Amino acid sequence: MKKRVLVLSCGSLAATDMNMALKDNEEFEIWGTSIYKNHGVYVYKNYIPDIPNMNDENFIEVLNKKIKEYDIKFIISTHEDMCVFLQKNKDKINAITLCSDYETSLLCRYKTKTYEKLKVYDFIPKTYKKEEVTEYPVFVKKDNDQGARHAYKVNNIEELDLYTKEPNMVICEFLPGEEVTVDCFTNKNRELLFCNPRAADRMLAGIDVHSRRIKLTDEIKNIAESLNKEVNFRGFWFFQIKKDINGKFKLLEMSTRMPGAFSLSRCLDVNLPVMALKDFDGQDVEVTFNDIDIEADKQFFGKYSLGIFYSTVFVDFETCFKKLEKINTFMMMYLYQCVNKNIKINLLVKDKENAIIYFNKNKIDINLFDEIIEIEKESIKNILTEDSILLSNDDNLKNKIRKANNKLYCFSNNIIESLIDWRA
């Protein structure tokens, strides 16, 4: 039986990528949960509802009930505060949290603690008390936040007064240069096995939506090794650095959770979640990877739940295959999803022999279709039922069918994506 791992919360970008990294694994089975319904329910095939907020007094009790009910062995947290909470209460929680220990998680959560711990290193940025600021700009950020949240470039005393009214703000030197995130992995023996720097060229809602792998320079490698030496990391972790006015990298922050854009490293064939699971399971981990240049660009991509049931799909051969210049790869993805779900696929054709020639030429197995039905278009509406759908690009045909019965649903090639079940 596969060992089950629970992602908490499973609605984030990192959680979506974790699902991609683990959903076909032979050794571990991924499950997701969240305190409220979010994107995770569209991604995770295995979803556990009704988890309370970690600040609720019964959180640990409910979590342990779910752990027992679903036989969960491991937990991956996607937020720093949850990492701290789970590790602080690890003796009360009946599953292993894949994260560095409590002291390390707490250290990483607070920039003041991080900077104090590592103050002997020249890659730590200068920090100031308010009365010590004599030159601008400076940078003000919240002690226990992450990324660009509650972080401000301050150009004068008026702005400094404004932004330091918020509690727990840290005043740092302003770093105008390139910003880099470094994905890392440290094994149970505290050996740094992987270190991959990437630049964020474009951000959206705090997420790296365009990132690219950059060279692991001696400077970046030295920072990674120094952090690994001084801090008790285990499993996946990352740190962020930014160049000062002299072009020297300074540490912004570090974290014990999975970074939001770790998929860039995953596409080098470095599966950080699987590596962490193996390591915390007592196995030895070896890291090799494709040493290639790689860029990633992301945008919001819709996943849909249509609220309809069907047991049969009818496919119009002429408009979904024959008239297209190339095979619609989303169509093929969807049809094989139907195979996996035991949904019957019927091909509608004018000439069966002509269709067979087409599929042989294009290397598509004709046995993908349960039936090949020779039929004229005006008769198609007569064979559709309310537990079937039609795939066709013929607008006239679809209009006639819907007018005849608005419970008969038709889908064009350009909305096949709405039928894809990303949990499958």
**pLDDT on residue 12:** 86
- Beta bridge partners of residue 76, listed in sequence order: 7
Parts of the chain belonging to CATH 3.40.50.20 = 3-97
**pLDDT on residue 52:** 93
**pLDDT on residue 113:** 96
Rounded to an integer, the average pLDDT of 295-324 is: 90
**pLDDT on residue 308:** 92
Q: Which of 173, 194, 166, 136 is nearest to 252 (CA)?
A: 173
| The pLDDT of residue 25 is above 90 | yes
**pLDDT on residue 144:** 85
Rounded to an integer, the average pLDDT of 109-124 is: 96
**CATH architecture designation of domain 312-419:** 3-Layer(aba) Sandwich (3.40)
Question: Does residue 263 have a cis bond before it (omega within 30 degrees)?
Answer: no
**Percentage, residues of the chain above pLDDT 90:** 79
**pLDDT on residue 299:** 78
Q: Which of 184, 412, 192 is nearest to 315 (CA)?
A: 412
> Which has the higher per-residue pLDDT, 365 or 260?
365
| The pLDDT of residue 400 is above 70 | yes
Task: Give 116's contacts (C-beta < 8 A, 6+ positions apart).
Answer: none
Question: Each residue of 48-69: pLDDT tens digit?
Answer: 998 999 999 999 999 999 999 9
Parts of the chain belonging to CATH 3.30.470.20 = 108-112+176-292
**pLDDT on residue 147:** 61
User: How many residues are listed for the chain in this entry?
Assistant: 424
> Which has the higher per-residue pLDDT, 302 or 186?
186
Split at pLDDT 50, 70, 90, the class of 258 is confident
Parts of the chain belonging to CATH 3.40.50.1000 = 312-419
The topology under which CATH files domain 3-97 is Rossmann fold (3.40.50)
Report the chain's mean pLDDT, rounded to a whole number.
93
| The pLDDT of residue 156 is above 70 | yes
Alpha carbons within 13 angstroms on the beta-carbon side of residue 354 total 11
Rounded to an integer, the average pLDDT of 363-380 is: 94
Split at pLDDT 50, 70, 90, the class of 76 is very high
| Lowest-confidence pick of 94-103, 106-115, 414-423 | 414-423
| The pLDDT of residue 296 is above 90 | no
SS3 373: strand
**CATH architecture designation of domain 108-112+176-292:** 2-Layer Sandwich (3.30)
**pLDDT on residue 341:** 95
| Lowest-confidence pick of 75-89, 114-128, 207-221, 245-259 | 207-221
Rounded to an integer, the average pLDDT of 164-187 is: 93
Where helices occur in 1-136 by DSSP H, the ranges are: 13-22, 40-43, 59-70, 80-88, 102-109, 111-117
**pLDDT on residue 150:** 73
**pLDDT on residue 246:** 96
DSSP annotation of 318 reads I
Rounded to an integer, the average pLDDT of 140-149 is: 78
Task: Give 144's contacts (C-beta < 8 A, 6+ positions apart).
Answer: 109, 110, 111, 168
Split at pLDDT 50, 70, 90, the class of 148 is low
**pLDDT on residue 262:** 83
**pLDDT on residue 145:** 77
| The pLDDT of residue 71 is above 80 | yes
Rounded to an integer, the average pLDDT of 281-289 is: 95
**pLDDT on residue 219:** 98
Rounded to an integer, the average pLDDT of 207-236 is: 94
Rounded to an integer, the average pLDDT of 1-21 is: 92
